[in-house]
Chain A
C-alpha cells in the first residue's frame, strides 16, 4: 500500500513539470479533437504523431501519446450525441440513447453525463491499474516462454473472434499481420525471409508505416471515394442547460459505478479493448433496468454506463500492456511500439526497471482526466463546431499527413512505395469487411510470438507437448479453445433461433 502511494508521489513530481503538463494538455486536446472528428480516430492520430515524438523524452512522448488515447474517448461521445456519428468505435453504442436525448432537447445533460462518467471511470480505473498492475507483474515473473506464446495466441484469438463481426475475417487479418511480421532478417538465424533481394526490406516492414497505411489511407480513400460526397451533417443544437438535474444524477450514479468496474475488467483482458466494454455495459444496464423499454428512446443510463465503461476500459487496457507487454487493442499496440522505440520492453520487469516512467504516466493520467473534464464541458460547443470541417480538405490533408509521417521514419522513397502498396491492401481489406485492427496487433506481436515459440521448442528439444505440461499453460489452452469455439456455437444457436422465430431483425451493432 505505502509503496503505491510513494511511487505515485514520485510520479506526480515527474508529471507536474512544465513540459510534461504542456504536452499532456496537448495530448488530451488532440485526443479530443480526433475523437470528435469522424474518420480520424486515436489510431491515426497516434500513428501520425509518433514520428514527431522521436525528439521528445520518453516520459514526455508517452504522456503525449497516452493523452491522445484517453482524450479521444471523451471526444468520441460528443459526435455520437450530437450527430449520431461516433467519432471512434467505443462510442458507437452511445449514439443509441445519446442522440435520442439530444433530439428531445436534452443534449446538455447527455454531454455532461458522458463527460462526468468518463472522468469518474477514468479515475477509478487508474486506481485499479495502480493496485492490480504490480500484482500481475509479480505473477508474470513465473511465466515461461511457453505461457507467453500461448498468451499472445489468446490475445489474437480474442481480438479476432470477440471484437469483430466475423471471426474468420478476424483470423485472416491476424495472419496478414503475422505474415508481414516475418519479412526481413530472421533475428535468430540471420537468414533473409521474404526480402526478394531488396535491401530496404532487410529490417522488416516498419510498424508505423503499416499502421498508417492500414488506418489512415483506407479511411481517407473510402470517404472521398464515395459516389456522393457528404458535405453537410445534421448537428443537433444544444438547447437549455448543460447541467444534469437531480433526477439525472440519481439515475447516472449506478451506471457510473457498474460501468467503471465492468469496463476496467474487460479492458484488462488481453486482446480486448474498450469498445467491447461499452457494448457490454449497455447490454447490462438495459437488462437490470426497471424500464428496459426506455432504452433507445433517450434513457440517460444508456449514455452514462457505456461512456464510463469505455474510459475505464482504457485504464484496464494499460494493465496487460504495462505488465505483460501484450496490447489489448490496436491503439495500445501502437503504444507498445512507442515503448519499444524508446528502448523499453514492457513486461513484468518494467515495473522494477522503469518504475519512475510508469508512475509518471499514471500520474499524468490523473492530471489529464481533470484537464479533460474542465476542457470538455465548457468547450463542447466549440468541439461540436469542428464537425463543420469540410470533408474533402480534411481527408486530403490526412493523406498528405500520412505521407509526411512515413517520410519522417526513414527519410527514403522506398517507404513511400510501401505505403502505397499497404494502403491498397488496407483498402481491399476494408472493402471486403476484413477488420484492420487484428493485423496491426499481429504485426507488433509477431516477432515476440515467434521468439517465444522457438525458445520453448529449443528448451523442449522440439517436443510440442511441452505446452501441456504446466498448469498455467493448460489453463491458457483451454481458454483459447473456448474463445475460438464459443462464438461459433453462439452464432449457430442464434441462427437456429432466428429460423424458428419469424425473421425479426434486431439492431446489428457490430
Chain B
C-alpha cells in the first residue's frame, strides 16, 4: 500500500472519532452565548476529515498509477515506493523500535516508584547496552554518571526536586 493512503486512512479514523465526540459536547449554560462550545471542535473535525480523506484518495491514486506503470518492477519490490520519503524512514527496524518503545515505557512507569536515579540508571544502561552491546563498559559508566550529575544539578542547584525511590 502507498504510504500516503495508510497515513491518510489513520488520520481519517482519528478525525472521525474526534468529530463524533465533538458533536456530543453539551451546550453552554449561558443563554447569551451565540456560539456553543461544540461549534469550533465540530468545524475542526470536519475540516480534518476532509483533508485526511483527500490524502487517502491521493495515496490510493498514486498507488494505482505506479502499479499500472510498472507492474513487473513493483512485484520485484517488497515495499511500496514512497513519493517524497528521502529514504530515512524506510530504514527503520520495526523490532528495534518496538523494543526501544517498551524500554522507554518501562522507564516512564518506574520513574516514580524507583526514584529518578535508579530508574534512569536502569533505562540508560538497558537501552544503550541493547543498542551497542560491545561498548558495554562505556555505556555502563554513562548510565551511572548521567543521572547522578542531573540529580545533583536539579536538587542542589536548581531546587527542582526529583522523585526519590526506596533507597535514596
A: which residues have CB within 8 A of B?
51-52, 55, 165-166, 168-169, 171-172, 175-176, 178-179, 182, 186, 188-191, 193-194, 221-222, 224-229, 390, 392-393, 396-397, 399-400, 403-404, 407-408, 413, 416-417, 419-420, 423-424, 427-428, 430-434, 450, 453-454, 457-458, 461-462, 508
Contact = CB atoms under 8 A, between A and B. Distances in A.
Nearest to B54: A168
Nearest to B104: A399
A462 B48 contact: no
B115 to A, nearest CB: 12
B156 to A, nearest CB: 14
A140 B68 CA distance: 54
A408 B151 CA distance: 13
A377 B34 CA distance: 60
Nearest to A182: B41
B55 A188 contact: no
Classify chain B: how many residues form its interface, as a range: 35 or more
A413 B111 contact: yes
B152 interface: no
B57 to A, nearest CB: 10
B73 interface: no
Given A392-B131, A400-B107, A453-B40, 4 more contacts: A175-B44, A188-B28, A221-B101, A400-B123
Given A172-B11, A178-B44, A182-B41, A403 B92 contact: no
B7 A450 contact: no
Nearest to A442: B44
B89 interface: yes
Contacts of A458: 33-35
B51 A171 contact: yes
Contacts of B101: 221, 424
Interface in B42-63: 44-45, 47-48, 51-52, 54-55, 58
A227 B92 contact: yes
Contact of B35 (A420, A434, A462): A462
Most buried by A among B7, B45, B138, B163: B7
B2 to A, nearest CB: 11
- Give 3 nearest A-B pairs by CB, closest first: A432-B7, A175-B48, A189-B28
21 contacts: A168-B51, A168-B55, A168-B58, A172-B52, A175-B44, A176-B48, A179-B41, A189-B33, A224-B100, A226-B93, A392-B139, A400-B124, A403-B111, A408-B154, A413-B111, A416-B109, A428-B10, A432-B6, A432-B7, A434-B7, A454-B33
A457 to B, nearest CB: 5
A407 B162 contact: yes
Most buried by B among A189, A222, A229: A189
Nearest to A171: B51
A191 B84 contact: no
Given A168-B55, A399-B104, A432-B7, A407 B111 contact: yes
A172 B51 contact: yes
Most buried by B among A182, A390, A419: A182
B150 interface: yes
Given A166-B84, A179-B18, A416-B108, A227 B93 contact: yes
B158 A55 contact: yes
Contacts of B11: 172, 176, 434
A60 to B, nearest CB: 14
A222 B92 contact: yes
Given A182-B40, A413-B111, A193 B35 contact: no
Interface in B69-128: 82, 84-85, 88-89, 91-93, 96-97, 100-101, 104-105, 107-109, 111-112, 120, 123-124, 127-128
B124 A193 contact: no
Nearest to A190: B29
B166 interface: no
Contacts of B160: 51-52, 408
